[in-house]
Structure 1
Amino acid sequence: MNIQFFGACKTVTGSQHLITIKDKKILLECGFYQGLREDAERINRNFPYDPKSIDAMILSHAHIDHSGNIPNLIKRGFMGKIYCTHATKSLVEVILEDSARIQVYDVEYLNEKNCQNLEPIYTPNDVAPVIERLIGKEYGEWFNVTNGVRAYFQDAGHILGSALTTLELNEDVLTKRLGFTGDIGRKFLPILRDPEQIANVNYLITESTYGDHLHDDARTSYKSLANAINNTFIKGGKVIIPSFALERAQELVYIIHELIDTNQIPDNFVYIDSPLAVKISGIFAGYLNLVDKETREIFLSKNKNPFIFTKLRFIESAEDSKKLNSINESCIIISASGMCEFGRIRHHLKNNLGNSKNTVIIVGFMAENTLGRRLLDGERQVNILNERINVKAKIIVLNSLSAHADQKDLIEFIHNAGALEKLFLVHGEEKSLNVLADKIQKEDVDEVIIPDFGEKVDL
């Protein structure tokens, strides 16, 4: 048995790891790579293996960097089942439909702007075959993946439906257990239950997004966000928040709702400019059994919906989105995509970065070579939709809202996973990976591996 790494290798996007056991092949995820357009086009359009050879897939959660290239995989011949939690199954459909629409829109825009003849990697018509292959499973339930392989999901606490996976691999007389984190969440985040713990595994593949970083306590996010909003409103400015439509948008609405209810910020209008966020908020309502105790106490016990309040407006049409540009009063605009590479957020940044009264609040990880990362790094001029924009707005980073485990969380998680023969660090940039590896090698792990793209390791 072996595992080969085809994504999220010394980077944080495009998650794909291929397990081979006897004559069976199991793919751990099939995510979209995000970064420079030329790189993304090359990496996402083609696969370094034959999709027809894959027997089954495990999907940890619905984020696009973990699920986004599944339609293309099926177009290229994948015929197997895709195992995930029930909540992930519900979310993946709307996530992929949105991704397909964005691709079609972007290609049409670029073709018209640059007289090119590009084709989208997939279209909305390619999403239905994905949904047909999704098999929803409960947390805490062993299930068969292929002959000789069974799996078990635990709550990862990262987004709704996110799963930690334990795979039991049986080859002849040899039985080994492999843990795969997908993305690990944090304690004390709004809405979600805290992450569970993978235990008693021989091998572990773990994300390392913040392997070199310690977050502020998640419970400080309320005060930090309130201060940023109040300081902007005093100047008469707008608050622009790039956000993933999935989970982060709901967390922000939840926190802002509570801040308004407790009179910590003014009751100004809040716009969620994302048709996807509207659909996802509806899906959340169907999975209230997965929320944490605090959400039950603060909202549900009072018959209040955490995702609805008086001056919250969901923007669905492109026409209504454009109308936000003409609003003069202070407000909050939350829009996708989270890394500012796709979607309506680019238009809001283009129209608001040039005003020093405004504030852009970065509330999540920004991968290298993305617009969000350039803003995070303090660039004073950025290219948005083929125009150079001067950055005069204030840029604020709130790491306390991150949905990824930090270095301390990761080390604790790895330490409690069992007597590991091999530890694989993925889903992190090189600095983060190397710092975490140095820390971990002082722990009880036989071998720490930072795989290169395409690297194969025998288990």
Structure 2
Amino acid sequence: MKLTIHGAAQQVTGSMHLLEVGQFKILIDCGLDYEKDRNIQANENFLFKPEEIDVVILTHAHIDHSGNLPTLVRLGFEGQILCTPPTADLTELLLLDSVNIFMRKADKGRKHRKGKFNTAAQPLYLQKHVMDTVERFVTIGFNKPFRINGSIELTFIPVGHLLGAAAAVFKVIEDGVEKSIAFTGDIGRKNYPVLDDPQTLPPVDYLVTESTYGGRLHTKDKTVEQALVETIEKACVKEQGRLIIPAFSIGRTQSLVYSLNKIFSSGLLPPVKVFVDSPLATRSTGVFRKYHYLVNQEAQDFYSKRGDEFEFDNLEYVESLKDSRQVSNYFEPCIIISSAGMLEGGRIQDHLFYNIQNYYCTILFIGYCAKGTLGHRLLRGDPIVHIKDRELAVYATIKQTDVLSAHGDHDDLVNTVKQQDKAKLKNVFLVHGETSSMQALADALTGEGYAVTIPAKGVSYLLS
């Protein structure tokens, strides 16, 4: 076997790993890299020929794992894309949303270049390419071995993180010898709202694992509900202001809405109006309802006793752009949940534009913000930010909490590796993390006696 890391090498985004078994080529994930100096077109530069890939394995729907699939198809890939059923449905929604984002940016670029030589970036792919991609999805359930060919077997193991998210575990017969390798995708955490805990992976010879929170521990002294109650009480009850929560439409929003449902239905706070301003969040919540049998037992019990965990009094899903703009005219205390989580586009930018200079507004970040994004600039304390062609002073209160992070922390990552048989596991490859996070995790694992590699992009490793 030969392994080449083509994406998320010493950075977080752009997951893409090539596994070669003889002449058979398997691509694990094909995500958008949005850390390439903001040049989206750089995602066309595959270091392999797309037409030579035999099959793609998709661990989960998030755009840094799925977002470059239509480019792969557009440039010649003709094989199947294997994933779980929820991943197929959620990925379709995310990819179509990406097309809309590309088109808006292209239109904006053309307007700025009006009357000049037009160098506006063209969309990376179009709706046609997304639909061509969706047609290639073949879905496989969890813990059901699937034979890709006569010598390669794939099993999806649930890892939490997102509905349908899976580790891809391969058993390979090569030259009469059985070998095994697992790709974790993104690893979730225990006791996370809506989602089941990650399952233990079977023993393997090689492990390719994410390292997002290497060297960092999540807050342990507060539950999700306690942290939210504390912030809402100050922002909306005592100060009678508004709380804006940027949240990814798929996964984070559903966990947040469920947590708010538990808070308000239990009377922990007086009623506060909650707006979910993201059509994508509304549609993806429908996917969570469709696969309700995959949510965790707590959420299923809540549904049995109190009804839909994604609906409650004073909760409003905002659909039209007109209604979204009316939210700005709602002057009572309220909570606004909107996408995108890193503030790079979406309706959240409108809410920021009208509220960033509001002393009675709190902006609560509940997820990771990549370097270079507006979210990252706000979190590092920039006093002035650029929003919708204007430079605006930041008067709103900026807060962050990790209680709703869907990634396992340093201890979770270490424990994932320690569940492996040390005598069998030959090497651990670290991907999907900043260099400092990878090094901290590598140091911890080396100290436990594991062989660890931090791959460079495009470097190949022979797996004997």
- TM-score interval, normalised by the smaller of the two chains: over 0.9
**SS of structure 2 residue aligned to 1:326:** coil
1:349 matched to 2:352? The reply is yes
Q: Could you give the per-residue CA deviations for residues 32-63 of structure 1, whole angstroms, max 9, x where no partner exists?
A: 11236x44424323322111010001101001
AA matched with 1:209: T
The equivalent residue for 2:47 is 48
Q: After the TM superposition, which residues 246-265 of structure 1 pair with which residues of structure 2 at under 5 Å, given as runs?
A: 246-265=250-269
Distance in 2 separating the partners of 1:138 and 1:277: 24
Match of 1:389 among 388, 392, 411: 392
Q: Contact conserved, 2:18 with 2:26, CA < 8 A, in 1?
A: yes
Q: Contact conserved, 2:41 with 2:121, CA < 8 A, in 1?
A: no
Count of residues in correspondence between the two structures:
456
Q: After the TM superposition, which residues 243-322 of structure 1 pair with which residues of structure 2 at under 5 Å, given as runs?
A: 243-297=247-301, 299-322=302-325
Give the TM-score normalised by structure 1: 0.96
The equivalent residue for 2:35 is 35
Distance in 2 separating the partners of 1:146 and 1:380: 57
Give the TM-score normalised by structure 2: 0.95
Q: After the TM superposition, which residues 115-134 of structure 1 pair with which residues of structure 2 at under 5 Å, given as runs?
A: 115=114, 116=118, 117-134=120-137
The equivalent residue for 2:337 is 334
Q: Could you give the per-residue CA deviations for residues 166-206 of structure 1, whole angstroms, max 9, x where no partner exists?
A: 11122222221001100000001111110001121000000
Q: Contact conserved, 2:19 with 2:25, CA < 8 A, in 1?
A: yes
The equivalent residue for 1:113 is 112
Q: Could you give the per-residue CA deviations for residues 281-337 of structure 1, whole angstroms, max 9, x where no partner exists?
A: 11111111111121122x222250000112111112222212222222211111111
Q: 1:235 to 1:125 in 2, by over 3 A?
A: same
**SS of structure 1 residue aligned to 2:7:** coil
The equivalent residue for 2:207 is 204
The equivalent residue for 1:371 is 374
Percentage of identical aligned residues: 38
The equivalent residue for 2:17 is 17
The equivalent residue for 2:437 is 432
Q: Contact conserved, 1:55 with 1:146, CA < 8 A, in 2?
A: no
User: What runs of 5+ residues in structure 2 fail to find an aligned partner?
Assistant: none
Match of 1:423 among 420, 424, 428: 428
TM-superposed CA distance for 1:418, in Å, is 2.5
AA matched with 1:2: K
**SS of structure 2 residue aligned to 1:400:** coil
Measured on the aligned residues, the alpha-carbon RMSD in Å equals 1.4
Match of 1:442 among 440, 443, 447: 447
TM-superposed CA distance for 1:218, in Å, is 8.7
Q: Contact conserved, 1:35 with 1:370, CA < 8 A, in 2?
A: no
Q: Could you give the per-residue CA deviations for residues 355-383 of structure 1, whole angstroms, max 9, x where no partner exists?
A: 12111111011111111111221222222
TM-superposed CA distance for 1:145, in Å, is 2.3
Distance in 2 separating the partners of 1:34 and 1:387: 23
User: What runs of 5+ residues in structure 1 fail to find an aligned partner?
Assistant: none
**SS of structure 1 residue aligned to 2:223:** helix
TM-superposed CA distance for 1:219, in Å, is 6.0
Q: Could you give the per-residue CA deviations for residues 220-268 of structure 1, whole angstroms, max 9, x where no partner exists?
A: 1211111111111122221111111001000111011111111222312
Distance in 1 separating the partners of 2:148 and 2:343: 36
Distance in 1 separating the partners of 2:360 and 2:350: 18
AA matched with 1:160: L
**SS of structure 2 residue aligned to 1:308:** coil
AA matched with 1:270: V
The equivalent residue for 1:83 is 82
Q: After the TM superposition, which residues 133-172 of structure 1 pair with which residues of structure 2 at under 5 Å, given as runs?
A: 133-172=136-175
Distance in 1 separating the partners of 2:439 and 2:5: 17
The equivalent residue for 2:416 is 413
Distance in 2 separating the partners of 1:341 and 1:126: 23
Q: Contact conserved, 1:425 with 1:448, CA < 8 A, in 2?
A: yes
